[in-house]
Structure 1
Amino acid sequence: MLSSRLAWSLALAMMAAGCSEPDTTPAVPPPPSFKGSTLTVGALGDPAILAGLAAHRGEWVATRGGEVVIRQEPIPSVDQVSSVDVLVFPGQELGNLVDAQALEAIPNEQVIPARKKRADEEPSRIEGEPAPAESPAESFKFTDIVPAYRDRVTRYGEDRMALPLGGSALVLVYRKDAFARPENVEAARAAGITLEPPETWTQLDRLAAFFQGRDWAGHGHAAHGLAAVLAADPEGVGDALFLARSASLGQHRNHFSFWFDSDAMKPRVDSPPFEEALAAITAWKSCGPPGCEKFDAASARAAFRDGKVAMLIDRAERAATWSGGSPVGVSRLPGSERVFEPLRNKWETPESPNAPSYLPAGGGWLVGVRRGLSDAQREAALDLARYLASPEISNRLRSEQTFAMLPVRSSQIGQGLPDPASSPDVDPRQWSDAVGRTLMADRVIPGLRIPEAAGYLNDVAEARLAALAGKAPGDALRELSTRWTARTKALGKHRQLWHYRRSLNTLSTASTPPARGQ
């Protein structure tokens, strides 16, 4: 009996083997070999971003046979980029790097797969033969990167100068209990206010004023409306907030340019949208706790976390700093019910709020390859850059606590908070929705990316702080425009105009910039 059962089992196994479906799983191509290559990776700016990269370099080393050296100290300036082969940098440094001819353009075929052939173009395969292996470009999943990063942030004119590692964006954070408490809902209704995330900045201003001085938590003492960065801030959140509100008022749907006149390089920062935004943000001094005019990013987060304010505006990637024991809601920043048309010097009222997204730090953090490497070294460096920005490694990097970044792939945005355990009170669905709507908006404005972008933004901070100290917003912005004009002249107006148009990715330019100083 046993032998007959065994024979029957063997027969079934042979029949199953004979009737199995052909294996159509794409073969996994062997990784390229870079044995003998040693690549140095460094960061322009904060080197904390390299901690995550250092933790995940082992797989590349094991599969490629090369070596990766992490430069621990930051690269202080573009002039010293020659000390590394692969460079991690904030997007606002892209103009400086292009001006110094420090980066190698990344060929599209390295990341964008070739057009797939139609079924009638495919050569017939022998039954059972595995499907063709994915190319490195196919495995990179380029189309999973949100358009703002694959079409704007990583490009400079027609050239792709880097690959995206992570992003940054501002969101509105709010205490759900303050918005849902029946007493607050009734009082708001009587005041003609709806307690829900605002669609316009005017609605946000009214909400902040409504909650100011109100016992919105039911704790028996008055609390406050809004925590926003108003003082000097090393993270640049206050400047980004001012520019985000200015963009909703000043980025018209028919224009690509926001910062300057793209034909004459004349600053627009002294125009009505910027003045209105600066006046409105400065007025938030009356909607926060005592001393809120001295808030940097850390102070604003602490005020929200401690339950002193009902709302906070902050970088979405800093969600781990918001939890204080009460449910936290998240919404994208509001838009404006009117927008300025610069050519006609006139305000318009669109059908829906004008809500372009502003991305700080030139959009986020990028990885590029230094120009001037040998052919073999360049191929290894391009492969490492592609590896670091790949779906698998970028997914791991976004979970690192040492350096917070937003995911820039749509599949990862939908996964919610990168580390839910560190943000137990934050609504993960609302966080994903706010980040997705911000990064995938129809119109996205990456932060300034021309040469000396940091200097121009420092000028913005000075003007913003002057208005906070009591100077009329219009006067502060006219002084800002004067400083920008002088800075542009010192760097070369025509060269800066070339860079500005190039940085917009939409306007025609010559292939090379004018000579320095022109």
Structure 2
Amino acid sequence: MRWSVASRLVRLRHPFLALALLACLLGAAAGCSEPVAEAPKPPPTYPGVSLTIGAIGDTAILAGVAAQRGEWTATRKGEIAVATDAARTVENAGDLDVLVFPAQDLGALIDRNLLAVIPNAVVLPEAPAPEGAKPADRKSEASEDREAEGFQYMDVAPAFREQVSKYGSDRYALPIGGSTLILAYRRDAFTAEANVKAAKEQGLSLEPPATWAQLDALARFFQGRDWDGDGTPGFGLAAALGKDAEGVADATFLARAASLGQHRDHYSFLFDADDLAPRVVTPPFVEALKAIAAWKAVGPPGVEAFDVAAARAAFREGKVAMLIDRAEKAAEWSSDKAVAGAPLPGSERVYEPARKTWDAGGSINRPTYLPFGGGWLVGVRRGIADEKRAAAFDLALYVAEADVANRILAERAFPMLSVRASQMGRGLPDPSSARNVDPRSWSGAVSRSLMAERVLPGLRIPDAGGYLTDLSAGRVAAMAGKAPDEALRDVAAAWTARSKTLGVPRQLWHYRRSLNTLATLPEPPARDK
């Protein structure tokens, strides 16, 4: 039969087609034909299932989620209710099936047993069966198993894949978007011929600083100088230094302290991982707070009371040459002049807490500190009824999938950064909103920060917000003139009291667990009665 078909093609004067067919037939006969790719599996369906998704904290993040729900409902045959009526807290989120939340609240949610563990089978495409294996030989880790090609697990930056979304070795959530601080600067201030000449005479190079000491020197250089040629003196640096509801002021302090106090050989940072003793009274934190308090002399009048909105305004209006801010807030920097971005600097020395000495002479210590515990996550409530569980995992996966998350990032109501390596280099999620912000340097700063060798997510233990409120009070006191070491002793006392109220053994378990690397028991100690 095969030969007769080929011979007919030859007689019909299609020699090339006949030869191609003969080659295919011979290949098939020899057993070397190419395998036919399987068609993509259709998504699972959940007819009759209705899920409620809501947010802990700012409900503005739900605008992007709500805009993307139509595809899920159309393909899965289920229903989604978006709880935009009011922001939930950890205490009243029990009515949600799927939760969107800042990673800072991860420990508190786990402490209340509100989150289900997300099995690897949910996020990893099913492994191919060994040759000759029967379908029954392929066992999933969970009944919610599904092909997860759209999630593209390995494209997620390691810090979010293995740290931010995990607590210990268990994954409790999937990352949607991230946050990181970068240095924004006026390009004309760094390139104007008069500035370059004057800086050279002072032994300075007008380029993004590699160390905090270099940043301090640049801020002093620009302070009081007409660096933009408008005929009036300008200022060096704008940063959130006072009370700041957005948390950028605290994150800035902790980012500088991390370069001094997050040793390469240690995982813990804010607390001693053996007894939960606060480390904020140690030399790296004191030195960082002294240095930041000194920024009062290199900013506009009243900078010591600036929140981040005031700092952005000063930069946007052309009053200061440099700004420290969340990268995703680039739309609020826009001006008539070009703005560039760079990663935050590091330190030439780092404190070794066990020996209580400074290590120097190596490479610049430049860990990335991530505010909000790292970014924003989506998880599934623990204890959902069986008929809903698979749908809830599927919805969480859908929200975090590459294409859907990318569309959510473009929503102006709640700016976030991509957590995916392939998307970090594409520039601003919404370039039209950030006029004159250089997308290339911005992308480079974000990529280098989020893909750094060492990334330090912010505090994620129960009542993380309370600990940061204590820290903020001490930091603001130092800006108002209190000695930094005295202000930090007050912070340490407040932290110790807070931990005692919550239960030191249980909080210590959470802190060790939140570091993702230290051994802990499977369950935390019982709460103190």
TM over 0.5: yes
Following TM superposition, by how much is the alpha carbon of 1:308 offset from its aligned partner in structure 2, in angstroms?
0.4
Query: Aligned to 2:53, which of 14, 20, 41?
Result: 41
- Determine the C-alpha separation between the residues in 2 that align with 1:459 and 1:236: 12
Decide whether aligned partners of structure 1 residues 337 and 77 sit closer, same or farther in structure 2, where only a CA change above 3 A counts. same
Query: Aligned to 1:58, which of 70, 95, 100?
Result: 70
Following TM superposition, by how much is the alpha carbon of 1:18 offset from its aligned partner in structure 2, in angstroms?
7.3
2:329 is the counterpart of 1:318 = yes
The SS at the match of 2:225 is coil
The SS at the match of 1:165 is strand
2:236 is the counterpart of 1:225 = yes
Decide whether aligned partners of structure 1 residues 509 and 11 sit closer, same or farther in structure 2, where only a CA change above 3 A counts. farther
- Determine the C-alpha separation between the residues in 1 that align with 2:123 and 2:165: 12
Aligned pairs for 1:145-224 within 5 A:
145-224=156-235
Q: Which residue of 2 aligns with 1:283?
A: 294
Letter in 2 for 1:69: A
Q: Which residue of 2 aligns with 1:127?
A: none
Letter in 1 for 2:48: G
Decide whether aligned partners of structure 1 residues 192 and 39 sit closer, same or farther in structure 2, where only a CA change above 3 A counts. same
RMSD value over aligned CA atoms?
Answer: 2.1
Letter in 1 for 2:320: V
Q: Which residue of 2 aligns with 1:423?
A: 434
Q: Is the 8 A contact 1:200 1:335 kept in 2?
A: yes
Following TM superposition, by how much is the alpha carbon of 1:421 offset from its aligned partner in structure 2, in angstroms?
1.3
Q: Is the 8 A contact 1:339 1:350 kept in 2?
A: no
Q: Is the 8 A contact 1:29 1:135 kept in 2?
A: no
Q: Which residue of 2 aligns with 1:138?
A: 149
Aligned pairs for 1:5-84 within 5 A:
15=17, 24-84=36-96
Q: Which residue of 1 aligns with 2:513?
A: 502
Q: Which residue of 2 aligns with 1:412?
A: 423
Task: Single out whichever of 349-358 and 258-267 deviates more from structure 2.
Answer: 349-358
Could you list the runs of 4 or more consecutive aligned residues of structure 1 that deviate by over 4 angstroms after TM superposition? 10-26, 114-118
The SS at the match of 1:449 is coil
2:493 is the counterpart of 1:482 = yes
Following TM superposition, by how much is the alpha carbon of 1:495 offset from its aligned partner in structure 2, in angstroms?
0.4
2:436 is the counterpart of 1:389 = no
- Determine the C-alpha separation between the residues in 1 that align with 2:525 and 2:362: 42
2:376 is the counterpart of 1:356 = no
- Determine the C-alpha separation between the residues in 2 that align with 1:122 and 1:323: 61
- Determine the C-alpha separation between the residues in 2 that align with 1:99 and 1:260: 19
Q: Which residue of 2 aligns with 1:453?
A: 464
Following TM superposition, by how much is the alpha carbon of 1:296 offset from its aligned partner in structure 2, in angstroms?
1.1
- Determine the C-alpha separation between the residues in 2 that align with 1:422 and 1:516: 48
- Determine the C-alpha separation between the residues in 2 that align with 1:56 and 1:450: 31
Following TM superposition, by how much is the alpha carbon of 1:97 offset from its aligned partner in structure 2, in angstroms?
0.3
Q: Is the 8 A contact 1:44 1:74 kept in 2?
A: no
Cα deviation per residue 1:189-243 (whole Å; 9 max; x = unaligned)? 0001000000000000000000000000011110000000011111100000000
Decide whether aligned partners of structure 1 residues 472 and 11 sit closer, same or farther in structure 2, where only a CA change above 3 A counts. farther
Aligned pairs for 1:119-134 within 5 A:
121=131
Decide whether aligned partners of structure 1 residues 98 and 187 sit closer, same or farther in structure 2, where only a CA change above 3 A counts. same
- Determine the C-alpha separation between the residues in 1 that align with 2:338 and 2:14: 58
- Determine the C-alpha separation between the residues in 2 that align with 1:396 and 1:503: 30
Decide whether aligned partners of structure 1 residues 117 and 192 sit closer, same or farther in structure 2, where only a CA change above 3 A counts. farther
- Determine the C-alpha separation between the residues in 2 that align with 1:185 and 1:251: 34
Following TM superposition, by how much is the alpha carbon of 1:290 offset from its aligned partner in structure 2, in angstroms?
1.2
Gaps of 5+ in 1: 1-6, 124-133
Letter in 1 for 2:493: T
The SS at the match of 1:74 is strand
Following TM superposition, by how much is the alpha carbon of 1:113 offset from its aligned partner in structure 2, in angstroms?
2.9
- Determine the C-alpha separation between the residues in 1 that align with 2:528 and 2:283: 31
Following TM superposition, by how much is the alpha carbon of 1:335 offset from its aligned partner in structure 2, in angstroms?
0.2
Aligned pairs for 1:222-261 within 5 A:
222-261=233-272
- Determine the C-alpha separation between the residues in 2 that align with 1:26 and 1:211: 62
- Determine the C-alpha separation between the residues in 2 that align with 1:11 and 1:330: 66
Following TM superposition, by how much is the alpha carbon of 1:490 offset from its aligned partner in structure 2, in angstroms?
0.6
User: What TM-score comes out, normalization by structure 2 length?
Assistant: 0.91
Query: Aligned to 1:264, which of 275, 279, 288?
Result: 275
Q: Is the 8 A contact 2:150 2:403 kept in 1?
A: no
Decide whether aligned partners of structure 1 residues 350 and 379 sit closer, same or farther in structure 2, where only a CA change above 3 A counts. farther
Count, aligned residues? 499
- Determine the C-alpha separation between the residues in 1 that align with 2:88 and 2:406: 28
- Determine the C-alpha separation between the residues in 2 that align with 1:11 and 1:26: 35
The SS at the match of 1:373 is coil
Letter in 2 for 1:195: L
